[in-house]
Amino acid sequence: MMEKVPFVIRTMAREEVDLAIEWAAQEGWNPGLNDAANYYAADPNGFLIGLLGDEPIATISAIRYDASFGFIGFYIVKPEYRGQGYGIQIWQTALDYLEGCNIALDGVVAQQDNYKKSGFQLAYRNIRYEGVGGGRHETDPLIVPLSALSVAQIQTYEQDFFPAPRPQFLQTWLSQPSAQVYGVLKDGQLGGYGVIRACRSGYKIGPLYADTPEMAGQLFRALKATVSEHDAIYLDVPEVNAEAVALAEREQMTVSFETARMYTQIEPELPLHRIYGVTSFEIG
């Protein structure tokens, strides 16, 4: 009788995060070119891999930002091993790692009912809009590049927009290769900022935060103008922000994807009316 091959779940080494990124690309999630390094900086202990013998067959990320908030992503089982109980094992290990936290995720439509069974509740939908880059960005003294800002300024500004501090991630995110960062100033103070980064296909804008719809539009157009009119661009918008939806539609972007933002506890009080673009569906 053949001995059953053991299924082992352990923390990923940094280079194994590249595998999770590759699987995400195969699923059509279009990760950024530098996402492995960016995401690993958020929580080096938060990436799990499931191996059947020596073969990697499952991944998940469980980013513990602090004692109160965590985010789940990269929940992928190789297609030939789905439906055999491996996914629920690595899922439960991720939940155990985040015990005590309010846990969030962006769930694809097909999995939302399963997430509800684990105690996740729907907060709102995020909609991915697709468009093209290019356009003229007229010089505006209120739109400034990252070089004119300090990381500390941006970290202070971002505190309103995320349920927990994430300084290590933000430092890496802002300095990643193949990305542009712009801020908009209001009375000499930061009134919004946005990042555009290169992905497997085209570019994603995220986050895009702004105090007013006008500032959001200024930032969007500045970021869009950094890439070619032949390049696809993507913006992940909280559907509950009507001004963000209007911005995407005004820019002639079309809906290509949606997720459900879900939480295990009460939805955090975030200024969704100032969030025009989500940073990441994978880690929040």
Q: Report pLDDT digits (tens) over 61-72.
A: 999 999 999 999
Whole-angstrom distance, CA of residue 189 vs CA of residue 177: 26
The Cα–Cα gap between 235 and 254 comes to 10
Given a contact cutoff of 8 angstroms between Cβ atoms, the answer to whether 71 and 59 are in contact is no
The closest alpha carbon to 45, from 16, 21, 68, 85, belongs to: 16
From-to residues of CATH 3.40.630.90 in the chain: 128-277
pTM across the whole model? 0.94
Q: State how far the Cα of 186 lies from the Cα of 105, in Å rounded to an integer.
A: 33
Give domain 7-124's CATH architecture.
3-Layer(aba) Sandwich (3.40)
CB atoms within 10 A of CB 179: 21
218 C-beta neighbours (distance < 10 Å), count: 22
Residue 279 has pLDDT above 70, yes or no: yes
Q: What integer is the mean pLDDT of 125-146?
A: 87
Contact 281, 236 (CB under 8 A): yes
* Distance linking the first and last C-alpha atoms of the chain: 47
Domain with CATH 3.40.630.30 in the chain: 7-124
Q: Dihedrals φ, ψ of 282, to 5°?
A: -85, -40
**d(Cα 218, Cα 9) in Å, to the nearest integer?**
46
| Three-state secondary-structure class, residue 269 | coil
The model's pLDDT over 59-102, given as tens digits with 9 standing for 90+, comes to 999 999 999 999 999 999 999 999 999 999 999 999 999 999 99
The answer to whether the peptide bond before residue 177 is cis (omega within 30 degrees of 0) is no
- Structurally, at CATH architecture level, domain 128-277 sits in 3-Layer(aba) Sandwich (3.40)
- Residue 223's pLDDT band, with cuts at 50, 70 and 90, is very high
What are the tens digits of pLDDT across the range 21-47? 999 999 999 999 999 999 999 999 999
Please give the Cα distance from 129 to 197 (Å, whole number). Answer: 15
What is the pLDDT, as a whole number, of residue 138? 61
Q: What is the pLDDT of residue 24?
A: 96
What is the pLDDT at residue 1? 47
